[in-house]
Structure 1
């Protein structure tokens, strides 16, 4: 009976000291939702199930407070431990903030996809882009001309730090163009073959606009240097005056 009474007292004491811990989801203004896991944190060796490591020194139970990233960088809130020494640094944003792939609808060339994962693999420091180049959330579109001046993607994609923006097909999808030509066989223009020898700027937009044009160019016009004839002149590439079967396919 004494043993049963002792066990009952111990169990009551344990229940009295039990704490209901749960994950907390924080909604930020411009950087998505952040999930804080109590269990993951208290299971760390340096924490050793010691809740007092954070409460009430960093987070009072009875007081609700919001902290900016600037506050954290000064050692407040998460920044007290996440300084690159006690735990991973705050600049490794994607460890807490959810990032996603971004699809940009480009009318002329089709959808261009930006991969956060690929870029973070090359440089895990989110501050390399945010907020100096891109604010968190929606940003105004930049033109290719602006990128050539170092704006947006052009800040890194300058041919030195990363491939130049003249390597258009690295981001913009391209496809073969097929032309149905009555009486002379169909012609397939291969972007892959041509971009293997030339840059996109060799043709766009000096010879061709970005979007497919409905205007037709005759062989006579090509022989005078128009369209394909600008390169296919017998010097830069085989001449449009001969080798017809290279492009025109019958049967």
Structure 2
């Protein structure tokens, strides 16, 4: 009997000291996307803040059509991950669920260019470009090379340091290869002038001439010898020092 009590006591102590089995991990409950109507009364943000204020583009200076997305039935927590009062993180992949954000074509000029949005999105966050550099609205900004050369838009990065220089035109404008030819200018009373664009682009970068000397469009009939003698247009280089002088007529006027 005594031995039975001892065995029971030892067994109890052993079982009592055994480590407990790990609790079963809690299953992650997927976040439920609530409707716009539910949000007004359910999301804690709107217990203090006006729903209407945050459903309009006022808080971003009119650069993002919040109301249009609200009217389509989307709401804040479908695109944003609220982090208290510090910041609201935008889900960088949410836009591509509806919009084709791969290749954007700029075709308002004679030299269309293609922007690889997908490649840039892999390297940078949305806020690196939007809305400070580009407005979040298609066609809202007319980008000019003059702006880019001054450091705006694409020029904010494409300055030859952060990324390749914006003066490397063929990097974006594929049709530039079509300008590797001779351009003929008709001249009354003198032989026509033949300009080798290919030769000059081999020796100089595009921004050496455009747009400070020549606009990026046809200049037929707009170049005058008087201007060249004053160091303008062709005379900027053809001064007898950098290149042959403009007084050497036979160099350009053939026939």
Work out the number of aligned pairs and report it. Answer: 180
Structure 2 match to 1:67: 75
Structure 2 match to 1:103: 106
Matches within 5 A, 1:1-20: none
Structure 1 match to 2:120: 120
**Distance change (3 Å), C-alpha of 1:192 and 1:171:** farther
Query: Residue 146 of structure 2 contacts residue 211 of structure 2 at CA under 8 Å; is this kept in 1?
Result: no
1:191 aligns to 2:191 (yes or no): no
TM superposition shift of 1:249 = 4.9
**Distance change (3 Å), C-alpha of 1:231 and 1:129:** same
> CA offsets, 1:152-177, max 9 Å, x none?
22221222112233445544555353
Structure 2 match to 1:202: 208
Query: Residue 101 of structure 1 contacts residue 115 of structure 1 at CA under 8 Å; is this kept in 2?
Result: yes
1:161 aligns to 2:153 (yes or no): no
Matches within 5 A, 1:172-183: 174=176, 175=179, 176=181, 177-181=183-187
Can you give the 5+ residue segments of structure 2 that lack an aligned partner in the other structure?
1-26, 39-72, 84-88
TM superposition shift of 1:236 = 1.0
Match of 1:215 among 222, 247, 255: 222
Relative to its length, the structure with more helix (as a share) is: 2
Query: Residue 225 of structure 1 contacts residue 233 of structure 1 at CA under 8 Å; is this kept in 2?
Result: yes
Distance 1:104 1:183 in 2: 39
Query: Residue 158 of structure 1 contacts residue 164 of structure 1 at CA under 8 Å; is this kept in 2?
Result: yes
Query: Residue 103 of structure 1 contacts residue 112 of structure 1 at CA under 8 Å; is this kept in 2?
Result: yes
TM superposition shift of 1:216 = 4.2
Query: Residue 91 of structure 1 contacts residue 127 of structure 1 at CA under 8 Å; is this kept in 2?
Result: no
Classify the secondary structure of the residue corresponding to 1:133: coil
**Distance change (3 Å), C-alpha of 1:216 and 1:147:** closer
Query: Residue 179 of structure 1 contacts residue 187 of structure 1 at CA under 8 Å; is this kept in 2?
Result: yes
Structure 2 match to 1:134: 134
